[in-house]
Chains A and B, each alone.
Chain A
Amino acid sequence: MKHSTHRILTTHAGSLARPADLLEMVRIKEAGQPYDQEALAARVRTAVAEVVGKQIDASVDVVSDGEQGKPGFANYVKDRLTGLIAREGVPPRVSSDQADFPDFQPPEGGTLNTRRMVCIGPLAWKDRTGGADGYREFSGGAAGADRGCPVSKRPALGIRDGAGRGDAATGAASREERRVTCSAVPTAS
């Protein structure tokens, strides 16, 4: 990993704004409506290339893929791990902050799918292509940046099965995704 050896390097927290047409495609997919898988994959690739270029133009040193194809920063793992679904009707958590400010309605965040995930079976890595395709484009697109940083999730996403085994199980599956991630990342600019 690069350090700020000669000057302060800049980076950010990962997710970046998606173009409107891609957002719409992801929205359709998340709604369970028919969509063109190839067209979506192609648009994700061009969007990643665009967003990497924009980061370089804006002088970001350590860039990300912008999580362009994901419906949100966390719930995408249901597409990559078996045993997880986003289920309708699961009551949302109410934080104490929300309880303290009951009438305040914050504006919608950037996440398209805010349904809570639940564990309905054994967890395993099911789809290497979802991540790897984007990363391949990212590897090429990140040329010129100091270092790329595709975003992957640590195990604790608040997913629980009944026996409290969720974190350990998603941990094992997510390690596999990280292995794929790391092999796709350029090691130097």
Chain B
Amino acid sequence: MKRSIDGILTTHAGRLPGPPDVAETVRAIRQDRPHDKETFATRVKDTTHEVVRKQKDVGLNIVSDGEVGKLGPFYNRLENYGPRQFAPGEEPRGGGTPRGEWQLFPTFYDEYWSQTGGSSLLPLVCTGPIRYIGQEAIQTEIANFKAALAGVEVDEAFMCSVSPGWLVPGFGFREADFQPHYKTEEEFFFALAEAMSEEYRAIVDAGFVLQVDDPRVLSGWDVPHPRTGAHLTLEEYRQEAQLRVDALNHALRGIPEDRVRHHMCWGSWKGPHTVDIPLKDAIDMVLKVHAQAFSIEAANVRHEHEWKVWQDVQLPEGKILIPGVIAHATNLVEHPELVADRLVRYANLVGRENVIAGTDCGLGGRLHPEIVWAKFQAMAEGARLATDRLWRR
């Protein structure tokens, strides 16, 4: 995996904005509306090419395919795992997040989820042995990305997949949702890991860096205990998070660590985030993931201060930190000087060669496309300023 040897490299969290017609067809497919499969396949291929070019043009070093044609939901790639109706008396999960905060800001969340559709997300249930069935989808994505990269010189290319922990909405999954096919939560998570490992290997075998998206390892904190309904204690949370880290490591076994980066954030919904778990309470577990680089949300008003965690936590030897220096939470475009300040701060703590500039989360679908590309330009410019300062050019 490339690191910032001669200057601060830039990357992002994966998802990029595609053109409206592609997004509309993705919606149509999700809603089982008719669409022209051939036209869509061609548009995704062309769009992947466009977003690769654009990343290169704005000065990004480590690029992705932009996930422009990803159809989701993710469980489409797994056999015997999918949504079920709510049980009588069961509370809607609001996208698996965030119960405690919903109680603190009840009117805001009622309005927010009704506008964004988050509260209508159904719980998931395992209906038999879980198996990966996304072989064709991932190979198409790989082929599109390879074609898009032909003739485009970039430092490195990465593709995203999701962690086993992300596949389960909320900590404290109901036993009834995986039994009788799996006896324990641990068995269930390891089955998910086993299935997803096939996608991870496909990405790495194709020569790309694998980014494992794992926001739930943090955002899973704010959920009620499945049995008591009370908020999880820190100890309960850490047990649940540890199980997810263990399952992810099971999925990553045999994959060289330097081909893997791990991404986590506190969930990208635009809420107050006042009850997010502090980074210091989770970072030790996350650093045990068998990845070389760690991409962490760090560029917004709720989490920027957590750079100070690295005053006390040692980044293990050989690892790379990809702090978010660009936020998905605001339309304001970060000033390159601010980006540089953020990068220099991290470089001074963990070493300049161990820092790559990143984004808090995927920007595609979360910000207007014009703003996304302006933010990337600001990031590239900020990285140049930081490089000047850190390498005293």
Contacts and interface: CB of A to CB of B under 8 A. Distances in A.
Nearest to B370: A101
A103 interface: yes
Q: Report the interface size class on chain A.
A: under 10
Interface in A105-152: 106
Interface string B306-349: 00000000000000000000000001000000000000000000
Contacts of B374: 100-101
Contacts of A102: 370
Interface in A80-112: 100-104, 106
A103 B371 CA distance: 10
Interface residues of B, number: 6
A100 B368 CA distance: 13
Nearest to A103: B370
A103 B17 CA distance: 14
Contacts, number: 15
A184 to B, nearest CB: 33
Contacts of A106: 331
Contacts of B369: 103
Contacts of B331: 104, 106
Nearest to A107: B331
Interface string B29-69: 00000000000000000000000000000000000000000
B13 to A, nearest CB: 21
A102 B370 CA distance: 8
A102 B331 CA distance: 14
A106 B330 CA distance: 11
B370 to A, nearest CB: 5
Nearest to A106: B331
Contacts of B370: 100-104
Nearest to A97: B333
B24 to A, nearest CB: 16
A32 B386 CA distance: 55
B268 to A, nearest CB: 18
Contacts of A104: 331, 368, 370-371
A107 to B, nearest CB: 9
B189 to A, nearest CB: 40
A59 to B, nearest CB: 16
A58 to B, nearest CB: 14
A109 to B, nearest CB: 13
Interface string B351-389: 000000000000000001111001000000000000000
15 contacts: A100-B370, A100-B374, A101-B368, A101-B370, A101-B371, A101-B374, A102-B370, A103-B368, A103-B369, A103-B370, A104-B331, A104-B368, A104-B370, A104-B371, A106-B331
Interface of B: 331, 368-371, 374
User: Which 10 residue pairs across A and B have the least CB separation, nearest first?
Assistant: A104-B368, A101-B370, A104-B370, A103-B370, A104-B371, A101-B371, A106-B331, A103-B368, A101-B368, A101-B374
Given A104-B368, A104-B371, 13 more contacts: A100-B370, A100-B374, A101-B368, A101-B370, A101-B371, A101-B374, A102-B370, A103-B368, A103-B369, A103-B370, A104-B331, A104-B370, A106-B331
